[in-house]
Amino acid sequence: MLALSDEILMSVDKPARYIGNEINSVVKDKDKVDIRIGMCFPDVYEIGMSHLGLQILYSMFNSYDDVWCERVFSPWTDLDPIMRKQSIPLFGLESQEPVKNMDFLAITIQYEMCYTNILQVLELSKIPFNACDRAEDDPIVVGGGPCTYNPEPIAQFFDFFYIGEGETKYRDIFDLYKKHKAEGTSRRDFLIEVAKLGGMYVPSLYDVSYNDDGTIKSFTANVPGIPTHIEKEIVKDLSNTHYPDAPVVPFIKVTQDRVVLEIQRGCIRGCRFCQAGQLYRPVRERDVEWLKKQAIKMLAATGHEEISLSSLSSSDYSELEELVNFLIAECRRRSINISLPSLRIDNFSVDVMGKVQDVKKSSLTFAPEAGTQRMRNVINKGLTEEDILNGARLAFANGWTRVKLYFMLGLPGETKEDIEGIGILADKIAREFFDTVPKEERKNGPVQIVASTSFFIPKPFTPFQWAPQATKEDFIEKAYICRSSVMAQLNQKRIKYNWHETDVSVLEGIMARGDRRLAPAILEAYKKGCLYDAWSDTYRHDLWLEAFDECGIDIPFYTTRERDLDEIFPWDFLDCGVSKEYLKKEWLRSKEGVVTPNCEQNCNGCGAAKFGVGICFNRK
């Protein structure tokens, strides 16, 4: 029986978001399992169903005979008020039963702008917002994902956070839970034992004190025997860990409507702005023969018409040529498309993309990130202007006429010349087209270049975690300078310029480096009506400002001030493998514009070698 009536389903957009029963979804007898878990992505169904991590954990949990995992998503804005008015509790898609009936609610936290959606999920599930207010029979609320590397702004809403990669410790957690359930011990006793497993952070077991200037004075455990520092969980052998053979296939089109094949984790590049590049070190590859078999299994089990390779930098996968050639032959036989994101534009990539893409329809993507070589050195991008122009030249010679360029504004040490360099670089790429492709051969029309800028947001566990963030007014001025530069170019008619929302960037900056004192403001903003903050048409900056003002939050404290080198950060008790001393060294090198070699060229002593795996020991 569905949780929503036919009348309700007919009144909302995309009712298939809420009915479950998709191909490869798992339904079990609830009386024959010991543990029920709701795996939640706190965003709309189409976004959550496109997330590989959710598919991996859903499949892994359901591979356990004693566990039943169901999916939970945020109701869209049309259903939300109906559920409140009619007192319909949030439910799991598989059983259509209330989340409140489950043992665990596991929430993956992929971006800071979903924090109010987490509160929506809790409220509609009839679970108290604050962990300290939950009863013994309330589900245990667990957080995971990249935002848990600074969980403090939302710490009071979670019972515990799983720090790192989810494949390693959940079986231990479930066994511990069954033991405590059988013995009838308290929720708190269970959480204390969870904290001792390693990789788990239980906020209620730690206290924070502050200096007069608002910075952190100390972070201490308030229970004996739990760790003072928490090291991330990491999968050491990616070819011998769980991966879904038969991912759930949605009834409706979702953002990533394809088979996703993760070829490696981590990145060798060391860009100083990139959080993922630090969090997922060291680089670990999946075996190419395993990948070939897995691709065939997943395509057969889903009926998808496209397969995509997932990686932070696909070109750095050592067996890429062999894998791609296999997939081209296999997919051609099956009439399946191949998507190859995160490729460097070189001879091999252009040749491969010419085989798997329709060059008349597709565009090539470059991410120079900065407009001048000086600035690319500051951020350690590892990409020269000649690399970019050579890549464009190759693409144009092979028939491409559309190019997307991604840049950031507000990077540390940025000057007006660096911003103007974005328009100049876009123009140079346009000139490459006219120099490379004779007029009589321009069958696909003239070149089209889209230059997009986002605003730089300093993130934890990056060398730029000490950097000030630009103000909203600075961001607007920088976008104006960039636009003016584009308009001043000879080929301005061939260049389109897009820029990101400023208000959302400021809020993301507050959350990214925030501490526990932000939680009351997040709750207040939610109560005022903030929801789906990552969506521009639903974002309410005025309500956020009201909430910050009422809760006494000093916005510049979290955004525009430069941190002292010896400041204690809210996330310093966590260990992602990359040491703070290494990040500090990289921050100082950035100020000098000194480039650091990538992991393949040289070991720079970041600290990740302590895990004993990956490129730290298998450098080519």
Per-residue pLDDT tens digits for 343-393: 888 878 888 888 888 777 778 899 999 999 999 999 999 999 999 999 999
Would you call 535 exposed, middle or buried from its count of C-beta atoms within 10 A (0-12, 13-18, 19+)? middle
Asked if pLDDT for residue 196 goes beyond 60, the answer is: yes
Give whole-number Cα distances, 71 to 54, 59, 88, 160, in Å.
9, 11, 17, 19
Chain mean position to CA 618: 27
- In this prediction, residue 424 carries a pLDDT of 98
- In this prediction, residue 357 carries a pLDDT of 80
Q: Are 460 and 275 in contact (CB under 8 A)?
A: yes
Percent of the chain at pLDDT above 90? 92
- In this prediction, residue 344 carries a pLDDT of 83
Nearest to 145, CA basis, from 158, 156, 133: 158
Q: Are 110 and 146 in contact (CB under 8 A)?
A: yes
Taking the C-alpha atoms of residue 134 and residue 152, their distance in angstroms, rounded to an integer, is 19
Give whole-number Cα distances, 554 to 213, 402, 470, 474, in Å.
11, 44, 15, 18
What is the pLDDT of the chain when averaged over all its residues? 96
Mean pLDDT of 30-40: 98
Would you call 443 exposed, middle or buried from its count of C-beta atoms within 10 A (0-12, 13-18, 19+)? exposed
pLDDT one-digit tens code per residue, 240-254: 999 999 999 999 999
Asked if pLDDT for residue 619 goes beyond 80, the answer is: no
Asked if pLDDT for residue 194 goes beyond 80, the answer is: yes
Put simply, whether the predicted model's pTM sits higher than 0.95 gets the answer yes
What residue has token string 């309330």?
A: 138
Asked if pLDDT for residue 522 goes beyond 60, the answer is: yes
Asked if pLDDT for residue 620 goes beyond 70, the answer is: no
Percent of the chain at pLDDT above 70? 100
State how beta strands 216-221 and 140-144 pair.
Answer: unpaired
Mean pLDDT of 113-136: 98
Asked if pLDDT for residue 489 goes beyond 90, the answer is: yes
Asked if pLDDT for residue 576 goes beyond 60, the answer is: yes
pLDDT one-digit tens code per residue, 79-112: 999 999 999 999 999 999 999 999 999 999 999 9
Asked if pLDDT for residue 515 goes beyond 90, the answer is: yes
Nearest to 275, CA basis, from 410, 457, 143, 405: 457
Asked if pLDDT for residue 63 goes beyond 60, the answer is: yes
Domains and CATH numbers, the chain: 6-231 (3.40.50.280), 240-356+572-620 (3.30.750.210)
Q: Are 364 and 393 in contact (CB under 8 A)?
A: no
Task: Please state which of the ranges 181-190, 222-231, 558-567, 610-619 shows the lowest mean pLDDT.
Answer: 610-619
DSSP helix/strand/coil, 266: coil
Q: Are 507 and 541 in contact (CB under 8 A)?
A: yes
Taking the C-alpha atoms of residue 125 and residue 117, their distance in angstroms, rounded to an integer, is 12
Asked if pLDDT for residue 266 goes beyond 90, the answer is: yes
The pair of structure tokens assigned to 554 is 């000093």
- In this prediction, residue 17 carries a pLDDT of 98
Asked if pLDDT for residue 585 goes beyond 80, the answer is: yes
Nearest to 352, CA basis, from 403, 390, 409, 314: 314
pLDDT one-digit tens code per residue, 154-179: 999 999 999 999 999 999 999 999 99
